[in-house]
A and B are shown apart, each in its own frame.
Chain A
Amino acid sequence: MALPEPVARTRRIAVVDDSAAVRQSLALLIGARGFAVDAFPGSEDLLAAPDLPGYDCFVIDLKLDGPSGSDLLALLRQKGLEQPAILISGWDVDSLERVAVKSGFSAQVRKPMMDNSIVDELLKVLSAADRLMEPAPDRKTGAGK
């Protein structure tokens, strides 16, 4: 199986999920693909992380103890953190996409995450962010190529 193109620098991903099994397995899965992963059990734990601006993407579970995944993203945005985020959830499958879009997530992945969906989404989201960043750092111009 062709692995994705190696990336120039190691991307850092923050995973937030209250289930230890999901958290650890996700960290391993994403880590095996060459990302550097930090996993957090709850919103507060992530918010207390020492280097929040250093992450390239947040992977956040919808249902968390304390503030929900949507609330957590809002708090991150309030802090001026604009990195892309992916919502994961096993709840209320039908409305997940709506919740994700409304809360400002770039993508959503349903649990259980069979096949490669979380890594695929991660790569897509990161390359979209790269395209925005590369030609003109001022993303508002939207000049593209």
Chain B
Amino acid sequence: MSDTPKAFQVPLNQLDATAHQLHLESILNSVPDAMVVTDESGTMLAFSRAAEQLFGYSAAEMIGQPVNLLMAGRDRTNHGNYIGNYLRTGNRQIIGKGRVVIAARADGMVFPIDLKIGEARIGDHFLFTAFIRDLTEQQSAELRMQEMQSELVHFSRLSAVGTMASALAHELNQPLTAVANYLEASRDLLDSPDPEIKEVLRGALAEAATQAVRAGEIVRKLRSYVSRGEVDVRPVSLGPLLADAIALTKTSRDRADIPVSIVVADEADRALADPIQVQQVVINLIRNAMDAMVGQANARIELRVSPAEETDYVQIEVCDNGPGLSPEIKESIFKPFATTKSQGMGLGLSICQTIVEAHGGTIRAVASPEGGTCFRFTLRRDTGKTQP
């Protein structure tokens, strides 16, 4: 793989225009990896056949367009800086090295790619050639995504919550079992006239109360772990933040098939939020949607960011076209330990609610027009007046 970028170090300026064009086309049509050539302003000059298939755009549509159209997350906004930085300083942040970044398809779906960039100098000008491998279906995807995750602190915290939840499930079971047993026993002992039995009964009830308090402490411990009361609120751009969150939900292969698209209204992009916690909420909602649609044909998830009804708030919706919520579960969905998953703890949405409310927002579930479920939560809009 490492030698591929050199393939483009052909003295292009020495070929006549037609030969040049044919040469380029033959490369573009035969390279197995998606390949995109840009000039130093990031404008696309060539778009290979594999790239057409990967991104869902035709070469004709893409040539002349800025390359950051193909990117998602923070790379979309930062890409101009990367090139400028390189040209100015010669500092190779990415040239020659493979890197995992998040790309966006024509349909808005985002996916992880392995990106390698080669440079070719033609006269005074640079050409950059990007070789792109789709990591979605790769065996190595999970591994490479982990590298990216290590940069994103929140993921470790998120999985720590998962591990902790399973340990706590067991912890919680002990006092709950004891409470149930003591109360059952008390009912049986209630009718006994024996004064000694009455003492046993008193002891059983006192013990049940102690164990109930213990169960409560365990729940409190978990809640305080997840949300420490304070949120580190600052101005954030929701588009890149959510694109990263989407990519993080696609790290396991059985989930990667479900397309997740995102639409961000420009006027709602800026919010005041703790980025890590908001990603935690969104990842949780997307994973729930994915879990609800395992094996479903045409499953898809859509994220929409738009101004909320309430002034100075934005709303983020995570909508699926899954089976929807039954009326019974809808009532209790944000309560701790309400779950429809056989292995679930029922804490995810309760945690989401804690986080959103700590931000001064609200979260609720509504029926999606397409038949599934939409989870909608609000955050304060960044009006630019508030100090970071």
Q: Do A and B come from one complex?
A: yes
Residues of A within 8 A of B (CB): 1, 3, 19, 21-22, 24-26, 28-29, 31-33, 63, 90-91, 93-94, 111-116, 118-119
**Closest residue of A by beta carbon distance from B174:** A19
CB neighbours (8 Å) of B343 from chain A are 93-94
A21-B174, A112-B176 known; A28 and B181 CB under 8 Å? yes
Residue of A3, A21, A113 contacting most chain B CB atoms (<10 Å): A21
Q: B170, B177, B208: which contacts A113 (Cβ < 8 A)?
A: B177
A24 to B169, CA, bound (A): 20
Q: Are A25 and B185 in contact (CB under 8 A)?
A: yes
CB neighbours (8 Å) of B176 from chain A are 111-112
B200 within 8 A of A: yes
A112 to B176, CA, bound (A): 6
CB neighbours (8 Å) of A3 from chain B are 188
A90 to B176, CA, bound (A): 10
Q: Are B177 and A28 in contact (CB under 8 A)?
A: no
Q: Are B177 and A111 in contact (CB under 8 A)?
A: yes
A-B pairs with beta carbons under 8 Å apart, 14 shown: A21-B214, A22-B177, A22-B178, A22-B181, A25-B185, A25-B207, A28-B204, A29-B185, A32-B184, A32-B188, A91-B170, A113-B177, A115-B184, A119-B184
Q: A21, A32, A94: which contacts B185 (Cβ < 8 A)?
A: A32
CB distance from B354 to the nearest CB of A (A): 24
Q: Are B173 and A28 in contact (CB under 8 A)?
A: no
Q: Are B189 and A24 in contact (CB under 8 A)?
A: no
Q: Are A24 and B185 in contact (CB under 8 A)?
A: no
Q: Are B174 and A111 in contact (CB under 8 A)?
A: yes
CB distance from B132 to the nearest CB of A (A): 40
A21-B175, A93-B343 known; A112 and B180 CB under 8 Å? yes
CB distance from A78 to the nearest CB of B (A): 29
A86 to B207, CA, bound (A): 25
Q: Are A29 and B184 in contact (CB under 8 A)?
A: yes
What sequence of 0s and 1s flags, for each residue 314-346 of chain B, a beta carbon within 8 Å of any chain A beta carbon?
000000000000000000000000000011000
CB neighbours (8 Å) of A119 from chain B are 184
CB distance from A84 to the nearest CB of B (A): 20
**Closest residue of A by beta carbon distance from B208:** A25
Q: Are A28 and B180 in contact (CB under 8 A)?
A: no
Q: Are B207 and A21 in contact (CB under 8 A)?
A: yes
Other than A28-B185, A29-B184, give 4 A-B pairs with Cβ distance below 8 A.
A28-B204, A29-B185, A29-B188, A113-B177
CB distance from A90 to the nearest CB of B (A): 3
B353 within 8 A of A: no
CB neighbours (8 Å) of B184 from chain A are 29, 32, 115-116, 119
Q: A24, A33, A94, A115: which contacts B188 (Cβ < 8 A)?
A: A33
Q: B173, B181, B211: which contacts A29 (Cβ < 8 A)?
A: B181
**Closest residue of B by beta carbon distance from A90:** B173
Q: Are B170 and A90 in contact (CB under 8 A)?
A: yes
